[in-house]
Structure 1
Amino acid sequence: MQSNDNTGPGRQELAYLPVPLPKEPAKPSRLAALREALRDWWDRAWDIDGVLYDMWDDVLSAPDDGLRHMAPWLRAVLMVAGVSFIVLMAKGAGEVLLQALHQILTAVPKVQVGVDTSNGVAAVVDQPVRTYIAQHSTGLPVAASTVYTLWLLTGITGLLLGFLTRNNGVRAMWTAWGAATVFMVWTATPDTSRPVAAGLAALAWTLLSAVALRGLTLRRRVIGRPAKVSVRPEIHIPVPYPVPAEPAEQHPHSSCPFRD
């Protein structure tokens, strides 16, 4: 009988075959892990009591709460945005003002002083001022045209800042400027027309003072707070006290035991 044994002569032994090991799962990349972490954080932030959920709720409730009672972080954001906007506007306005001032100062040597360069009603005030400055600016380290330009800038600044800020110092500057202008008109105008020119200058100064001195009052300002008077429309009705009834008068003979 033939044997099934493969170890006999003339039989080739089978080679050893290695058993394949199970493959390990591939690790996710760092970008995928970061994306997954961000997705988890986003989901948790929009859950109830999450960070983004609370912030969005603060934004929705801000119109009803008002500036005083809104969330502190939202108030800080609005304040920073407002300050930044004001700074940008001030920077732009400052550049425009500096450019205009530069143009005015560069045009100063072209201003003619002491010459009739104006006409109309404005010439009644402008020409005497030019003449006065031209007569009394000799020997100064600055030109007469520069003094005239500074005179114009002082009047315009006092008029605008007095209207906008209501500052007492600016109003005092405007008052001194107007008085000096009337004095120059009175001095440099010929004697025949001096009262009329000075009167027109004073009238123009008074009309412009209604703008520069807006809100000025001579009433005494009360520093303390006025006393609060509380009026309560209550009606008190007095309650009458009960009056004891008087005993009925008895007949003098009603209690006599010998009465028939």
Structure 2
Amino acid sequence: MQSDDKPINGQTNPSFLDLFDQTPSDTDLDKEPGTTRLAQLRAGWNASWAQGGFLHGRWEELRQAPHAGWHGMANWIKALLVLTGVCAVIILLDTAGDIFDATLSRVADSVPATRAGTSAAGELWGVVDNPIRSYIAQHTAGLSVSASAVYTFWQMVGWFGLIGGFIGSTGARITWTVWGASSVLAVWSAAPADGRTVATGIAVLAWTIVSTLALRGLSLRPVVNNFIPPVPDLQPHIEIRPEIHIPAPAPAPDDDTPDNVHPLQR
């Protein structure tokens, strides 16, 4: 039995209530002795798989879906595929977030150990990183989140602004600008008083150098388009029409005029 719903895009919308409509009623089964509820369900199952039944129609739509394409397949199959895709994306993003968080946590835990080495880059990184760690630790004492989690979030925001800004995203570039300014303020606030100016200068220079990647292609110069549309080539055309003069027809001779009388011509 087909559904009574109105078709959408030329396709019928199946209703699950059609499956119950194909199930024989108790009155029909009571006419035959020895029938039970199980027999009623079996009869409804067989009727739904018969030609024109509810489950038979859904199976045919599912079987023809690979050949019908996205626009030709049934609407309920489209909804099922979209729901499955959304669930898969959510699971992948959640897994990728856990992996990224664990990787950043390992990097953050290994930074203090490498700072004590003789590497100049590590020492310069410690000049910027240690005040930020101290600032985060001081201002997260009364929060429900730990200082290490906030530090990891700070790193993730920085990577997002850097990568997104390099791609050309406007929102990522705004995030990178705000992130860098807040990082410089944190270094200025938590750095030792004797070396505060030097630490802040190093943070500003490092932020400016990396901004060449995050703000790649950004120009503060206004864009002026001096585009002049092409002027159509208009040439006057003189149309000369020849005049054709058709002589007027000669008057018809009068019946009373003799044939030998002709008008005088010069």
Which of these two proteins has the greater Rg computed from alpha carbons? 1
TM tier relative to shorter chain: 0.3 to 0.5
TM-score by length of 1: 0.46
